[in-house]
Amino acid sequence: MDQSLRALNRFGLGAGIGERSALGDPRAWLLDQLDPRAALLEEPPAAAEGTPTEVARRLRVAQRGGDPEDIRRARRDLSAVLQHERSLALTRRVVTETPYVERLVAFWSNHLCVSVLAKQQVIPLAGPYERDVVRPHVLGRFADMVLASARHPAMLVYLDNFTSVGPESPAASRAARGGRARGLNENYARELLELHTLGVEGGYRQSDVEAVARILTGWTLAAAGPAATPDPPRYQFRPALHQPGTKTVLGRRYGPAGEREGEEIIRDLCAHPSTARFLATKLARHFVSDTPSKEAVDRIATSYSRSGGHLGAVARAIVGLEEAWDPEARKLRTPQDWLVAALRALRVKAVPPMASALLQQLRNPLWGPDAPKGFGDEVRDWADPDGLMSRAEVARSMARRIAASGLDPVSLLDVVESPPDGPLRSLVADRSVPPAERLALVLGGPAFQWR
């Protein structure tokens, strides 16, 4: 096994032509990337249609006005803004010089996912969510990332916590007197326990879900201003919505302390041994194999717990896992991984506009999982005949465009692990086969599907 290729493909986002020969020490190269500043992104330039907030506001105005053409135009603009945000995020993955950090950003963004397919209101918020929630904390404390996620408008809307009202809160009492029932919404509390922290086998009960939901009442959005207000939606704790009294979760009592109850329960959940184990298992599956050893999971969980949930320490521990460097260990690339790896291999400098449509075709759109658990990360999630056929079709389409540039197909052998006497090398070197077909053999063939 080529250690440089393993670093570039397994830990990074894909090797570029000529990159492995200049890598030096593969493990040192990975560890040198782990500077928190490497993950940060400045506010990107707005799309031609305007900022996400502006376009979302235009849609609200159009919907209130009721003119079908205005509504169609505003929805079209919102779709263009989403494509713009997706292209910026994917371009960052393709051109980054710190691909291990970008892989971690993608992992945690999927772990604490929101989905633009679930609700229209999430569409203008998904890009800012990844920039403002995941990136600042991807090498920091997991608890800080979860707190930022819980307070972000994208998550508040996606999992409905902004609608949750304490059953015995002042707001619920007023609503009941007016004949407008308002109640508790457990969606976010359930996913916080099951998907974000403890895991489905983390030892909690339905009573804990309900108690967490009560604790997080009042975590909502600031009251909206006029339709013309340019400000983006923002988090606000509203005491009138908060369930009074004490609550008990996993045997510990919380409150009455208002907003601080939510901060305490999130930090406690993130420090729980079940969370360390759950996150370690997901990370081991991502970086080692679909069936990682107990020892690999234990080492990641120990790093998490000993560091107080510091994700930078966890990222360093992952590099030290010998199992992740084992030549027998393999991970099938997700469609997003595969497309980014292909573009990195070709040293593309900007993601083409068609990339979002291709990922839609491949069932792996950016910020578009069909459930709060995010996209799967195992062979069974992506190796079905339809999925692999779609990759082959996209590979052929890409290869036709690449062939026009005069790229020698043999050069792509520099980015895949293929034995010197293997059939792929002889096929790609066979000049009796048109260049486009040979390029497609690499990008769509088995060797390029794995990392």
Q: What is the pLDDT of residue 229?
A: 58
Q: What is the pLDDT of residue 230?
A: 63
Q: Helix, strand or coil for residue 297?
A: helix
Is the Cβ–Cβ distance between 86 and 356 less than 8 Å? yes
**178 Cβ partners below 8 Å, 6+ apart?**
none
Q: What is the pLDDT of residue 226?
A: 55
Is the Cβ–Cβ distance between 156 and 221 less than 8 Å? yes
Q: What is the pLDDT of residue 227?
A: 52
Q: What is the pLDDT of residue 421?
A: 85
Which segments in the chain show pLDDT lower than 50?
none
| Distance in angstroms between the alpha carbons of the first and the last residue of the chain | 12
Question: What single DSSP character describes residue 425?
Answer: H
Peptide bond before residue 256 is cis, with ω within 30 degrees of 0: yes
Q: What is the pLDDT of residue 223?
A: 82
Report d(CA 308, CA 141) in Å as an integer: 8
Select from 100, 27, 10 the least CA-distant residue to 451.
Answer: 10
* pTM for this predicted structure: 0.96
Sign of the alpha-carbon dihedral angle for 307, 309, 313, 319: positive
In sequence order, what are the beta bridge partners of 368?
none
Tokens of 308: 């107080």
Sign of the alpha-carbon dihedral angle for 41, 151, 309, 289: negative
Report d(CA 55, CA 243) in Å as an integer: 35
Kindly write down the DSSP assignment for every residue of 246-271, as one continuous string. -EEETTEEE-S-THHHHHHHHHHHHT
pLDDT in tens, 417-437: 888 888 999 999 999 999 999
Report d(CA 162, CA 159) in Å as an integer: 8
Phi-psi region of 157 (alpha: psi -120 to 50; beta: other; left: phi over 0): alpha
CA distances from 43 to 127, 129, 213, 229 (A): 10, 12, 33, 20
Q: What is the pLDDT of residue 353?
A: 80
Q: What is the pLDDT of residue 177?
A: 86
Tokens of 192: 């916080």
Q: What is the pLDDT of residue 350?
A: 84
Select from 162, 246, 263, 159 the least CA-distant residue to 211.
Answer: 246
Q: What is the pLDDT of residue 364?
A: 98
pLDDT in tens, 172-183: 999 988 878 789
Is the Cβ–Cβ distance between 69 and 319 less than 8 Å? no
Question: What single DSSP character describes residue 97?
Answer: S
Q: Helix, strand or coil for residue 237?
A: strand
Is the Cβ–Cβ distance between 319 and 30 less than 8 Å? yes
Q: What is the pLDDT of residue 189?
A: 98
Sequence spans of domains, the chain? 335-449
Is the Cβ–Cβ distance between 416 and 443 less than 8 Å? no
Is the Cβ–Cβ distance between 372 and 402 less than 8 Å? no
